[in-house]
Amino acid sequence: MPQLDWQQILSQAISFLVLLAILRRFAWKPLLTMLDARRHQIERDLQQAAQGKVELARLQEEYAQRLAKIEDEARSKIQQAILEGKKVAVEIQEQARQLAYASLEKSKQTIELELAKAKVTLRDQMAEMTVDAVERVLRQKLDAKADRQLIDSVLDDLEREGARG
Amino acid sequence: MASDAHHAVEQAVQHGAQAAEAAGHGGGDAIPELPNFITALSHQFHDAPWAHWLHQWENLVFAWLVALILCTVAWRYSRRPATIPGRGQNLLEMLVNGLDQLVQGVIGHEGRHFTPFIGSLFLYIWLMNLAGMVPGLKSPTSNLNTTVALAIVVFCYVQWTGIRRLGPARYVSHLAGEPTDVVGWVLAPLMLVLHVLGEFIKPLSLSLRLCFNVFAEDVLLAVLVGLGIGAGFAIGTFKIGLPFQLFALPLVLIFSTVQALVFSLLSTVYIALMLPHEEHH
């Protein structure tokens, strides 16, 4: 074991102090500063990520609410459209019914008119046929006006009896 | 058969001692020591004054070598520290962060101020301890001059920290046990003497512990290398040594690390004890 040598001790101490000064300036300071900066950055990023998560949840909730609202509106509009459609259908049915009724009425009137016409025509024809027949039967020519009156009265009697019967 | 084995071992020990002695300082020193490149140079050029100078200052030369390695690594990886570190920077950051946590764990948030000192001390001592494991190198910490120098630096740093943080009056009061009552004042001179003694014993214990532990590790390696050489010469036709020291290298690695850690941690504790109490509680 060597004896203590103050020159060596002093040299070693100075060596260490020089090393310390170099390392403090060129290694410890930049590395510790960088480690702190990174730690702060990670903290900040984590905080931002947490805030982002909260914001995302809030947006999701908002979108869900908005979607639900849109669905409600759509549903109510569809309901309204259905109701209006039903109403229009009822109106169309009613119009159709009215048109059909009017058409029916018109047809009835036409039929009645035609019937009346036919009756008159038939009556005229029957009268003529009857006169012809009577003329042939009696072989005599009666007064036209008197014949006509006679036949009308006969036909009126017949009608009355028919209406009664 | 048994006598043959006994003879072989005896011869091996003799060879080992001779080999270690021849390769080491070789001044008839009974303690075996592994050779390093400076001892080899001085052996080769024993008349040259530069070889003599190198041999005389070999501990300082190896300490400078370690310091140079440290400075190179520090410069290489902390010149432009990247936010996303590479492999080397990552390793260095792990060390720096670990040492910072260690110092802050003992001293508290104020400890950041002392991290460069303690960290440099640890890395310097650690690498100097490990240098003994590298063939051709030597642990400068196995020499008492190196450890005494480091202990004196720590002692001065601790006292300077105390005077700066506490102020001269409170520093003396701290050494006198911070007397507050009559009993305290009566005991103050005794406490002062005890504390001052304690302050001087601290660097003494630091330096002796480190030096003798590392010295013992180096001696262990030297003995094992000597035994290996002796055994190789005794049993082999090829004149090469058996690597007995390989088994001790993991142990030396652990002890070197532990001793560096003990020195740094105790220095941290001494600083913490010197700081105002409200700061490190």
Average pLDDT over residues B85-112: 87
Q: Do residues B122 and B99 make contact, with C-beta atoms less than 8 angstroms apart? A: yes
Lowest-confidence range among A52-56, B56-60, B86-90, B212-216?
A: B86-90
Question: Residues B167, B64: one domain?
Answer: yes
Single out the residue in B11, B31, B56 at which a domain terminates: B56
**Phi/psi at B125 (5° precision):** -65, -40
User: Which residue of A10, A18, A20 to mutate against B (max B Cβ within 10 Å)?
Assistant: A20
Question: Residues B20, B145: one domain?
Answer: no
- Put simply, the answer to whether A15 touches B64 (Cβ < 8 Å) is yes
Question: Residues B106, B213: one domain?
Answer: yes
Question: Residues B28, B79: one domain?
Answer: no
- Put simply, the answer to whether B100 touches A35 (Cβ < 8 Å) is yes
Number of structural domains in chain B: 2
Q: B230: helix, coil or strand?
A: helix
Question: Residues B22, B109: one domain?
Answer: no
Q: For Cα atoms B202, B204, B208, give the angle at the middle one, nearest 5 degrees.
A: 125
Q: Do residues B15 and B239 make contact, with C-beta atoms less than 8 angstroms apart? A: no
Q: Could you give the CA distance from residue B176 to residue B172 in angstroms, rounded to a whole number?
A: 6
| pLDDT digit string, tens, across residues B165-184 | 888 888 888 888 877 888 88
Question: Residues B126, B244: one domain?
Answer: yes
| pLDDT digit string, tens, across residues B22-41 | 444 444 456 788 888 888 88
Q: Which of A4, A31, A38 sits opposite B148 (nearest CB)?
A: A4
Would the pLDDT of A154 be above 70? Answer: yes
Q: Could you give the CA distance from residue B54 to residue B45 in angstroms, rounded to a whole number?
A: 11
Question: Residues B129, B8: one domain?
Answer: no
Question: Residues B12, B77: one domain?
Answer: no
Restricting to A residues 38-57, those with a Cβ less than 8 Å away from any Cβ of B are 38, 41
Q: What is the pLDDT of residue B43?
A: 83
Does this model's pTM top 0.95? Answer: no
Question: Residues B118, B182: one domain?
Answer: yes
- Hey, what are B46's tokens? 């024993």
Question: Residues B186, B165: one domain?
Answer: yes
Would the pLDDT of A36 be above 90? Answer: no
Residues of A whose CB is below 8 A from B215: 1
Containing domain of residue B12, as a range?
A: 1-56
Question: Residues B38, B125: one domain?
Answer: no
Question: Residues B15, B81: one domain?
Answer: no
- Put simply, the answer to whether A31 touches B64 (Cβ < 8 Å) is no
Single out the residue in B27, B56, B85 at which a domain terminates: B56
Single out the residue in B56, B73, B97 at which a domain terminates: B56
